Amino acid sequence: MEIAKKILICGAGIAGPTCAYWLHRYGYSVVIAERAKTLRDGGQNVDIKGAGQEVIRKMGLAEKIEARNTQEQGQKYFDAAGELVATFPKGAFGGLTADFEILRGDFAQILYEATRDICDYRFSTFVTGLTETADGVSVTFNDGTAEDFELVICAEGLNSVTRAMILGDKTELRYFGAYMAFFNIPRCPEDDNWAWTVNGIGGTFITLRPGTESHTTVLMTFLREKPDIAADDNAARKTVLLRALEGRGTIADRISAALGSVDDFYFGPMSQVHASTWSKGRFVMIGDAAHSPTPFTGEGTALALVGAYVLAGEIKGRADHRAAFEAYESLVRPYAEASQRKMNPTLIRLMHVKSGFGVAVTRLIQRFFANSSVQKMLKPSDATRAKRRRKDFHLSDYA
């Protein structure tokens, strides 16, 4: 069977379709295997920052992403009683809202629409075995079929099963002492186009963000000593969430009341992926599967876009896959590790204050940085922000 220029990508999230787009541009035939039955709607808000914005412009997708922007105007901090503490408009120093704000599911849909006619998407499909041959990889799928590929690219995310098959002994998940959950609840008449954030006692951090006309997105994180909650026990996970929300104020009470009707939600430990190598033989990883920095950095999406772009370009530009993988990792690893260093367990604990005194101090700090005079000194100009984007990561023109 002719397998030259035939590549399998595992995962149809952000990194996988982005890499597929560029590989197709460079003359490769791409199969994308996705474990889920279909693309997932909604999900958490994702920020597209720095060089990630340049990648989507190169793909011609900037206007489509802007058209589906959540229209988030900025971030407001509230106390437990629902009283306003501080306001950070879009673009403010220390604020949450970036230039490109879109629901992860909407972004995945845009990438799918850009690649569905040029790639072979296979939903409800995942890898059960990989065997490297002299000139390729023999892949067995969950339906029992086997197929040969020149290369296999893993873009399955933080908890990749395929990664565990090949590089499990080279990969460490570093737990940061907190759990994260995000899901949708019904939108209320009082919801506006601002993110609402509450620092709750006991180490619970809650943010409501604009979603759709009918739904508001919930992001909540809370401290927990060990990552000991079963991933497949929804009842147990909801019980833990309710405990983390109990006594945390009016916004938390609203979430608790809506949680019973929530069926689709992400829930998992806040961890980083640290892999001593991103490739082995003809197998290579991109995105969160290779270097998840935790969603709290707000940089995972940009990392996925940049890594996918660079890997495709290096594959195209080098005759030997080993040289391509080495070049890709040498270029992207410093960028990914710099993002990972921005988050650590100590910072997570500081962000999740447990005592009433700690919450009071946090609110004083929020008010200080929201002050217009402080913002005037610290907020970067448009020219400075543009310069930072250019310096963020240099994207070679592989075309």
Task: State pLDDT tens for residues 153-188.
Answer: 999 999 999 999 999 999 999 999 999 999 999 999
Per-residue pLDDT band for 375 (boundaries 50, 70, 90) equals: very high
- Residue 51 and residue 122 in one domain: yes
Mean pLDDT across 74-87:
95
Residue written as token pair 């460079």: 26
- Residue 283 and residue 146 in one domain: yes
Does residue 215 lie in a domain region? yes
Q: Residue 243 has what pLDDT?
A: 94
**Angle, to 10 degrees, between the axis of helix 300-317 and the axis of helix 15-25?**
30
Q: Residue 134 has what pLDDT?
A: 87
Does residue 1 lie in a domain region? no
Mean pLDDT across 255-278:
92
- Residue 383 and residue 285 in one domain: no
Lowest-confidence segment of 229-243, 308-322, 337-351, 382-396 by average pLDDT: 382-396
Mean pLDDT across 3-23:
96
The token pair that represents 124 in the structure block? 């409800």
DSSP letters along 238-274, please?
Answer: HHHHHHHHTTS-HHHHHHHHHHTT---EEEEEEEEEE
Domain that residue 378 falls in: 174-270+345-387
Q: Which of 308, 324, 343 is the last residue of a domain?
A: 343
Whether the predicted pLDDT of 1 surpasses 60: no
- Residue 230 and residue 121 in one domain: no
- 21 Cβ contact list (under 8 Å, min separation 6): 59, 111, 114, 115, 118, 312
Does residue 80 lie in a domain region? no
- Better-scored residue on pLDDT, 43 or 48: 48
Does residue 139 lie in a domain region? yes
- Residue 219 and residue 105 in one domain: no
Mean pLDDT across 140-144:
97
Separation CA 382–CA 339 (nearest Å): 22
Separation CA 282–CA 324 (nearest Å): 10
Q: Residue 386 has what pLDDT?
A: 65
Cβ atoms of 20 and 9 within 8 Å: the answer is yes
Instruction: Tell me phi and psi for residue 320, to 5 degrees.
Output: -105, 125
Cβ atoms of 248 and 204 within 8 Å: the answer is yes
- Residue 280 and residue 156 in one domain: yes
- Residue 186 and residue 250 in one domain: yes
- Residue 65 and residue 213 in one domain: no
Does residue 67 lie in a domain region? yes
- Residue 320 and residue 308 in one domain: yes
Does residue 312 lie in a domain region? yes
- Residue 141 and residue 245 in one domain: no
Give the CATH number of the domain where residue 246 resides. Answer: 3.30.9.30
Mean pLDDT across 138-165:
96
Does residue 393 lie in a domain region? no
Q: In total, how many domains does the chain have?
A: 2
Whether the predicted pLDDT of 385 surpasses 70: no
DSSP letters along 71-89, please?
Answer: ---EEEEE-TTS-EEEEEE
Give the CATH number of the domain where residue 165 resides. Answer: 3.50.50.60
- Residue 209 and residue 290 in one domain: no
- Residue 194 and residue 145 in one domain: no
Does residue 42 lie in a domain region? yes
- Give exposure, 90-104, as e/b (b: 16+ Cβ within 10 Å): bebebbbbbebbbbb
Mean pLDDT across 213-232:
89
